[in-house]
Amino acid sequence: MFRLPGRHILTVGTAVASVIAGSLLTAGTATPAHAAVPDTIPLTITNNSGRGEQVYVYNLGTQLSTGRQGWADANGTFHAWPAGGNPPAPAPDAAIPGPAPGRSATIRIPKFSGRVYFSYGQKLVFKLATGGLVQPAVQNPTDPNRNILFNWSEYTLNDSGLWLNSTQVDMFSAPYSVGVRRADGSTASTGRLKPGGYNGFFNALRGQSGGWAGLIQTRSDGTALRALSPLYGVETGALPASVMDDYVNRVWRKYSTSTLTVTPFANQPDVKYYGRVSGDVMNFTNGAGAVVTSFQKPDASSVFGCHRRLDAPNDQVRGPISRTLCAGFNRSTLLTNPNQPDSGSGGFYQDSVTNHYARAVHAQMADGKAYSFAFDDVGNHESLVHDGNPSQASLTLDSFD
């Protein structure tokens, strides 16, 4: 599944032929003028979780030089997946033992677009179908990984550098942060929760009316394993399908008599599109008054998934408009600001009808940055680090407080 640079991929839990990282595959295209990025770089994993279980680490993705899908071992050596089957066959064991509590371990990551999974206490179950690797899909009650505590980070390492993010697009679970050390020795990091942020997030969902607590999945011993994204909540019935209807209806009424102006490119302020509603359709025109694209009135799934009626192809018109609309709906800013996207986050999530999952995620982040829905990078509010000549990356397993 390909998308605009910066968009997190939505994993659908079916056979996936490739694993594309969340900011990422098309993020760097030109070879930089400085020293070439090496074939692998070190990734230091630090276990500050406070948990005693064995940690398992996996590095899965697409080898960018060949387009083959597979996994990398601790040395960064690529191993292609064997052919899959129908029904799906067990994948080779790609687990790398992770660091003990309070310790660090360093692996090497190759030029991949992929994911670094980590799990506590149990190895994850991966299978291979005829179409490729089957990702964990914990929204499915029969998924073998449903009762395992795990999470993942996403990255692309290519000739233009490293893009590494933390993500909550599919779920909020085991806390972690990511970082990069640049060639000059300076560092950048993101994804760390505030003190008490892990429990604070779950308490926020539990206290939110309207069914949002239904996103939380717990183990039989009472352990909160994760909260599903609202997209999966709607798809599984854990969250009412009507949860965004009131806001969408108000937006549609407003722009039937006024104009929504979208300026999708920060570096092209003169490129503007103008939206007006007619019936169930919002039509966008360019400066010459020609209709360039139209959107059917979206439902909650379209809003939370930034797909279906808000599909965003990797083009220069519909996709950029759609991603801006998607961000405005999730952040509930379309009624308060007719000029999108918003320049700051002060007005985000203020309506009583909003993406309360995304609101709670951002509220608990130390730097306010997160990938809580697919186009959370609109306006640069995503939890992403990048460097064109990285010397080292880091993934820190953080405390469950």
Instruction: Yes or no: say if 358 and 376 are a contact pair by the CB < 8 Å rule.
Output: yes
Section 239-264 average pLDDT: 98
Same domain, 235 and 279: no
Chain position carrying tokens 């018109």: 317
59/37 Cα distance (integer angstroms): 19
Nearest-CA neighbor of 116 among 67, 187, 165? 165
191-212 burial: b if 16+ Cβ within 10 Å, else e: bbbeeebbeebbebbeeeeebb
Residue 8 pLDDT greater than 90, yes or no: no
- Residue 162's pLDDT band, with cuts at 50, 70 and 90, is very high
Q: Which residue has the higher pLDDT, 21 or 396?
A: 396
DSSP codes joined into one string, 143-184: -TTTTSEEEEEEEEEETTEEEEEE--SSEE-S-EEEEEEETT
Chain position carrying tokens 């994850």: 124
Residue 3 pLDDT greater than 50, yes or no: no
Section 346-369 average pLDDT: 98
Instruction: Yes or no: say if 35 and 387 are a contact pair by the CB < 8 Å rule.
Output: no
pLDDT at residue 400, as a whole number:
97
Do the domain assignments include residue 7? Answer: no
Same domain, 60 and 185: yes
How many structural domains is the chain composed of? 2
Same domain, 326 and 184: no
Nearest-CA neighbor of 130 among 93, 82, 92? 82
How many percent of the chain have pLDDT more than 90?
Answer: 89
Same domain, 203 and 115: yes
Task: Annotate 32-60 with three-state secondary structure.
Answer: CCCCCCCCEEEEEEEECCCCCCCEEEEEE
Encoded tokens for 282: 């919002």
Same domain, 72 and 115: yes
Q: Are strands 273-278 and 161-166 parallel, antiparallel or unpaired?
A: unpaired
pLDDT tens-digit map of 195-220: 999 999 999 999 999 999 999 999 98
Q: Which residue has the higher pLDDT, 291 or 33?
A: 291
Strand, helix or coil at 278? Answer: strand
Q: What count of other Cβ atoms lies within 10 Å of the Cβ of residue 177?
A: 23
Identify the CATH number of the domain in which residue 281 sits: 3.30.920.50
pLDDT tens-digit map of 11-60: 333 333 223 333 333 334 344 445 589 999 999 999 999 999 999 999 99
- Specify the DSSP element, H or E, that contains 274: strand 273-278
Section 355-368 average pLDDT: 98
Number of residues that this document lists for the chain: 401
Mean pLDDT over all residues of the chain? 92
- Residue 223's pLDDT band, with cuts at 50, 70 and 90, is confident
Identify the CATH number of the domain in which residue 368 sits: 2.60.110.10
Instruction: Yes or no: say if 211 and 239 are a contact pair by the CB < 8 Å rule.
Output: yes
Do the domain assignments include residue 385? Answer: yes
253/275 Cα distance (integer angstroms): 12
pLDDT tens-digit map of 259-275: 999 999 999 999 999 99
Nearest-CA neighbor of 4 among 343, 359, 321? 321
- What is the span of the domain harbouring residue 381? 15-240+362-397
pLDDT at residue 35, as a whole number:
59
How many percent of the chain have pLDDT more than 70?
Answer: 91
Strand, helix or coil at 398? Answer: coil
Residues 6 or more apart whose Cβ sits within 8 Å of residue 255: 275, 276, 277, 282
Provide the whole-model pTM.
Answer: 0.92
Same domain, 233 and 339: no
- Specify the DSSP element, H or E, that contains 296: strand 291-296
**How deeply is 71 buried, as exposed, middle or buried, from its count of CB atoms within 10 A (0-12, 13-18, 19+)?**
buried
296/91 Cα distance (integer angstroms): 41
- Residue 61's pLDDT band, with cuts at 50, 70 and 90, is very high
Do the domain assignments include residue 78? Answer: yes
Q: How many CA atoms lie within 13 A of 340 on its CB side?
A: 28
- Specify the DSSP element, H or E, that contains 198: helix 197-206
pLDDT tens-digit map of 112-156: 999 999 999 999 999 999 999 999 999 999 999 999 999 999 999
pLDDT at residue 356, as a whole number:
98
216-218: strand order across its sheet: 171-172, 224-228, 216-218
113/382 Cα distance (integer angstroms): 18
Same domain, 132 and 219: yes
Same domain, 264 and 370: no
Q: How many CA atoms lie within 13 A of 265 on its CB side?
A: 14
Same domain, 161 and 225: yes
Section 310-327 average pLDDT: 98
Tell me the catalytic residues.
Answer: 154, 170
Same domain, 328 and 379: no
